[in-house]
Amino acid sequence: MSAKVGKTIISIVRGDITEEDTDAIVNAANSKLAGGGGVDGAIHRAGGPAIMEECRKIGGCPAGEAVVTSGGNLKARHIIHTVGPIYRDGRHGERELLANAYRNSLKRALENGIKSIAFPSISTGAYGYPIREASRIALQTVMGFAEEHEGITTIRFVLFSDRDLGIYRETLANLRNINRKC
Ligand code: ADP
């Protein structure tokens, strides 16, 4: 399933993000860039130790920000490490931090000449962000960015489970309908 916004195709697929052949994949990292479980662990396992070397040199990344390393052994040439918010109750700036994580990842992509990028569902695993709301923030933010910036041709959301895929699809369908009515 996909939507075209400006010159950017935004699509939603099911899969393992470590196998994506986009110019960059995004890692849902922690603020120490220290590796961990979930998608972070999968990316470091598949990409090899050179990525952690680069992360150590960078030192860390606050929530909402994003940094770039090489892709190590992955097909993707770059990894954009971003840090989503840990969800508490929705009243601690989580929405803005999550939107910033997507926005700053796309900014890093533009700065590095990256034309295609794959995102996981940031913060909706160990960090506990309710996925329906997170999917709305994710899609609205990237659609808004694509409206305002040219240069990225493909933005792909790679969901790890059928359930997550279904939720992102529903959200994209709703957002497309809202946009048509405007
Ligand atoms: P966070 O700490 O930001 O919540 P997690 O890695 O715990 O990050 O989870 C984020 C999402 O990434 C979850 O929906 C999880 O199912 C998904 N995920 C885990 N491994 C992969 C993978 N290899 N490819 C794509 N998504 C993955």
Among 16, 21, 23, 40, the one annotated catalytic = 40
pLDDT digits (tens, 9 = 90+) for 3-18: 999 999 999 999 999 9
Instruction: For residue 131, give the ligand 1 atom closest to its CA.
Output: 14
Question: CA-based Rg of the chain, rounded to a whole angstrom?
Answer: 15
Whole-angstrom distance, CA of residue 16 vs CA of residue 43: 10
What pairs with residue 155 in β-bridges?
10, 117
At residue 136, φ and ψ (nearest 5 deg) are -65, -45
Q: Is 47 in the pocket of ligand 1 (CB under 6 A)?
A: no
Strand, coil or helix: 102? helix
Is the CB–ligand 1 distance for residue 17 below 6 Å? yes
Cβ atoms of 161 and 120 closer than 8 Å: no
The Cα–Cα gap between 4 and 151 comes to 14
Render pLDDT for 35-69 as a digit per residue (tens, 0 to 9). 999 999 999 999 999 999 999 999 999 999 999 99
Residue located nearest, by CA, to atom 18 of ligand 1? 39
CATH of the domain at 119: 3.40.220.10
**Which residue matches tokens 């470590």?**
18
Answer yes or no: 40 catalytic.
yes
Number of domains in the chain: 1
pTM: 0.97
Q: Which single residue is written with the structure tokens 């992955």? A: 74
Give the residue numbers spanning the domain of 69. Answer: 2-181
